[in-house]
Structure 1
Amino acid sequence: MPGLLLPLTRAVTYTRWLHLLVGSILPFVCAMVYPGLDSPSPADWALIALLPVPLVVAAAVVPEVRRAEGLQAQLMLFPGPHARVRGDGDAGVSTVPSASWSDRARTGAWMVLRLEAGLAVALVTGQLMALSMELAGAAAGNPGVARPLLLPVSGTGWGYVLLVPVPLLVLIAVVAGAGALMAEAARLLLGPSAKERLAELEERTERLLERNRIAGELHDSIGHALTLAVVQAGAARATADPDFTDRALETIEETGRAALEDLERVLLVLRETRRPAGARPALDEAGQLLDSARSSGSRVDAEVTGPLEDVPGPVSREGYRMLQEALTNVLRHAGPVPVRVRIAVAEGRLRLEVRNPLAAPPVPGAGTGGGAHGGAGAGGGSGLRGIRERAALLGGEARAGRDGGLWLLRVDLPLR
């Protein structure tokens, strides 16, 4: 019995009921025009259910109607945690305008379903509430109600008072069941289209990639600084040489300051309000990266061939991130050395190359030496690993290693 009464305590039961009743307004308005609501026959009710269908189908062609229906469904069929309904955390209902005829067709099917279900629930509501009132009247010794009922009450007597709540409980059960079915139908007919799912997946992938990049950057910067500080401090204590201690402390200071700058830069990125997908940097903004590298002391020789505007959005944005990571690695591991950047769009592919001289081998006892490129080229380093992962996600490949006296990073991505 408590399970049967549970829908009475849920706010979602009543918001779904209201949502269904709102769907019955149009059929009743049409019925007032024709054939009228003066004792309609079953055939008249069938006509009332069919008359508004062309109107709602025509309305579904308007793209914004899908947004309106989605917002109503989210608000009234999935009202939130206060509804105390498990599994409704994610409504799974789209709130964007129709972008295709498939979206319009699904919206039309939803609106017809809402219209017919709303009319049926409105009629059942009227019948059951009138039946409960007639039972109450019979218990009080009053005659039946004026409107005809499918289940008329005959006679009077106080025993009818025990039956008064039964139609209301049946009504709540019907409303709860119909509301649950409409919620599932909303997910099916108003759910995201394949295009919307793809856009959402792309956005989620970009967020994950960005978080992974930031995590890798923090790992490289902070981990390197802490490791260097520990090693230099231990060496200074072991040697007990004042000159070496001074150099070690200077190295620790410089490395710590650089790590703090990296940390502050990452925190600023994390504090920024998330930009819309259209505002994310792409390869046509690569000039900013090159200017930034030049301002750090590097001489950057850039060559761009092919139409960058023809590169698809995901490929262009990931290409920008790869170039950003490549230039960052050059500055971090080799310092302000000459860099040659080549970006080519041809034969359905995007090719990106970054060349720079190898860093000098570290001098034993000196602080932050170069040579990290050699280790990264051997497969280590989260920066190069992140570039390879980005390339693999797009169906391409990235390679890095020695090329004579230079360090070469080559990325090859398909445009489709």
Structure 2
Amino acid sequence: MSSSLSAVRRPLFRPFLRPVTYSRWLHLLTGCVAGVLMGFLRGGTFRPGHGGPWLSFAVLPVPVLLLAALVPAVRRVEGLQAQLLLFPGRSGTGGRGAAQIATSPSATWRDRGRTAIWLLLRLEAGVAMTALTLQLPALAVVLTRAGMGHATHVAGWPSIDTPRWWHGLLAPLPLVLLLAVAVGAGSLMSCAARLLLGPSAAERLAALEARTERILEHNRLAQELHDSVGHALTVTVIQAGAARAAGSPEFTDRALAAIEDTGRQALADLERALRLLREDAPRPADRPALTDADRLLESARAAGAAVRAEVTGPLEALPGPVSREGYRMVQEALTNVLRHAGPVPVSVRIAADADALELEIRNAVPAASEPNGGGRGLRGIRERAALLGGEAETGPEGDDWRVRVRLPLRRLG
């Protein structure tokens, strides 16, 4: 029986023990600040006999708040306050739900209109909550004194000329009511903040586009690391194995030099990727392009492949994205050759003209090997080509394995 009562009491009293209840209460009370300031400026609001100043607090600031809503930065300030007080986090920043509150300045008249409604709602809710925060504890004091047998005469409340003992039993009720109102009003203000201070349709679209860009950039980085590090590891493994089998100091020296050069380039690519992930974007020139294709060809030759290259056209005049992605495609195609076919004859053709860039990598397929047409690398080549508006074909052709890419240039110019 006692455990069931504890289970009932726990959710009943939990809202009163949560810090967010009191931070939202504070947010409500600050909404009355504008009314109090206007009351002081007006004069006479607080003089005896004037009556309750609450109506003045709720009406006087309205024109000022409507004008303030026209200032774009006001929306940002209100959004930050709502994040910190309505959705507090453990580290002093907005917690869960704060992401639904915009902190950017007003960009449209619709944003200004929503900000104006929010300011008016904060004012009226703040005045009402401040009045209850002051008056309900006063009522609890009145009832407590009456329960102790003292006649009470407190301004704003009916006089108790004939106190009774049971008045004291009613004293906790105003405080409980105040806490309940604070919990409910805080929850309602949080819902209103999401509605009135939440991101507009344009802001949501911009955030979605930014998130999509980040995902695409991370996918591109993953593909680049796969190509670069995969190529470096493939060359390293083949060179190390060949050096061990050759047993020649001269060949071993050449193999170690090739491993060193390939590893250094892979480390540079890794550092570029890490700088991008740290939002410290490198210059486009930091990334290798087709003008650096000789490095790839020499690396493949050092791994034992007999590479015959044909390079025509002004590679230095290619658009940056085409040249950089073309380099990665050639790199992945050569890596695929070394990984699946070994040191076999390879022909590489890179041809650029005013209309398109064409890449073709063709290699013999040893009888003991199995061509791999479904790997991540070849799929990456096709994806890169599609993103640039081109096309890529990978697969066997006669006794050879061929990778052919065509990237149009006119639409990019």
The answer to whether the 8 A contact 2:392-2:403 is kept is no
2:228 is the counterpart of 1:198: no
Over residues 219-242 of structure 1, what are the superposed CA-to-partner deviations in whole Å (9 max), with x where a residue is unaligned?
Answer: 2333344456556777888xx664
The answer to whether the 8 A contact 1:21-1:118 is kept is yes
Of 250, 256, 266, the residue aligned with 2:270 is 266
Aligned to 1:98: 106
Over residues 106-144 of structure 1, what are the superposed CA-to-partner deviations in whole Å (9 max), with x where a residue is unaligned?
Answer: 111111111111111112222211111112222333332
Q: 1:293 to 1:385 in 2, by over 3 A?
A: closer
2:154 is the counterpart of 1:146: yes
2:163 is the counterpart of 1:156: yes
Partner AA of 2:195 in structure 1: L
TM-superposed deviation, 1:301: 3.8
Q: Distance in 2 between matches of 1:262 and 1:128?
A: 71
Q: Distance in 2 between matches of 1:153 and 1:324?
A: 87
Aligned to 1:361: 363
Over residues 342-385 of structure 1, what are the superposed CA-to-partner deviations in whole Å (9 max), with x where a residue is unaligned?
Answer: 58xxxxxxxxx4334x3453697xxxxxxx9x969x99625324
Q: Is the deviation greater in 118-127 or in 259-268?
A: 259-268
Aligned to 2:352: 340
Partner AA of 2:23 in structure 1: T
Over residues 291-314 of structure 1, what are the superposed CA-to-partner deviations in whole Å (9 max), with x where a residue is unaligned?
Answer: 95436658744668xxxxxxxxxx
Aligned to 1:346: none
The answer to whether the 8 A contact 2:358-2:406 is kept is yes
Over residues 92-116 of structure 1, what are the superposed CA-to-partner deviations in whole Å (9 max), with x where a residue is unaligned?
Answer: 1111111111111111111111111
When the two structures are superposed, what TM-score results if normalisation uses the length of structure 1? 0.70
Q: Distance in 1 between matches of 2:353 and 2:67?
A: 55
2:48 is the counterpart of 1:50: no
Bigger relative contact order (CA 8 A; separation at least 6): 1
Partner AA of 2:407 in structure 1: L
Q: Distance in 2 between matches of 1:271 and 1:379?
A: 24
Q: Distance in 1 between matches of 2:159 and 2:238?
A: 93
The answer to whether the 8 A contact 1:131-1:167 is kept is yes
Q: Distance in 1 between matches of 2:63 and 2:276?
A: 48
2:63 is the counterpart of 1:66: no
When the two structures are superposed, what TM-score results if normalisation uses the length of structure 2? 0.70
Matches within 5 A, 1:208-219: 208-219=215-226
Q: Distance in 2 between matches of 1:302 and 1:154?
A: 99
The answer to whether the 8 A contact 1:7-1:13 is kept is yes
Aligned to 2:192: 185
2:334 is the counterpart of 1:327: no
| Identical counterparts, % of pairs | 38
2:385 is the counterpart of 1:381: no
Of 399, 409, 413, the residue aligned with 2:407 is 409
Q: Distance in 2 between matches of 1:289 and 1:131?
A: 73
Matches within 5 A, 1:232-271: 242=247, 254=258, 257-259=261-263, 261-271=265-275
2:135 is the counterpart of 1:127: yes
TM-superposed deviation, 1:174: 0.5
Partner AA of 1:340 in structure 2: A
Aligned to 1:307: none
The answer to whether the 8 A contact 2:146-2:160 is kept is yes
Q: Distance in 2 between matches of 1:74 and 1:232?
A: 58
TM-superposed deviation, 1:267: 3.5
Aligned to 1:294: 291
Q: 1:118 to 1:93 in 2, by over 3 A?
A: same
1:400 partner SS: strand
2:131 partner SS: helix
The answer to whether the 8 A contact 1:70-1:95 is kept is yes
Q: 1:247 to 1:143 in 2, by over 3 A?
A: farther
Aligned to 2:303: none
For the pair shown, which has the larger CA radius of gyration, 1 or 2?
2
Q: 1:4 to 1:164 in 2, by over 3 A?
A: farther
TM-superposed deviation, 1:28: 3.2
The answer to whether the 8 A contact 1:379-1:385 is kept is no
TM-superposed deviation, 1:214: 1.7
TM-superposed deviation, 1:204: 1.6
Partner AA of 1:354 in structure 2: L
TM-superposed deviation, 1:189: 0.9
Q: Distance in 2 between matches of 1:216 and 1:68?
A: 41
Q: 1:172 to 1:320 in 2, by over 3 A?
A: farther
TM-superposed deviation, 1:180: 1.1
Q: 1:135 to 1:322 in 2, by over 3 A?
A: farther
Q: 1:75 to 1:90 in 2, by over 3 A?
A: closer
Q: Distance in 1 between matches of 2:237 and 2:29?
A: 71
Q: Distance in 1 between matches of 2:241 and 2:292?
A: 35
1:70 partner SS: helix
Q: Distance in 1 between matches of 2:184 and 2:203?
A: 30
The answer to whether the 8 A contact 1:216-1:382 is kept is no
Which 5+ residue runs of structure 2 have no aligned equivalent?
Answer: 1-8, 295-310, 335-346, 395-401
Which 5+ residue runs of structure 1 have no aligned equivalent?
Answer: 305-318, 344-352, 365-371, 392-396
The answer to whether the 8 A contact 2:16-2:179 is kept is yes
2:213 partner SS: helix
1:408 partner SS: strand
TM-superposed deviation, 1:409: 2.2
Aligned to 2:14: 6
Partner AA of 1:119 in structure 2: V
Matches within 5 A, 1:390-401: 390=387, 397-401=389-393
Over residues 146-171 of structure 1, what are the superposed CA-to-partner deviations in whole Å (9 max), with x where a residue is unaligned?
Answer: 2213x765633444443332211211
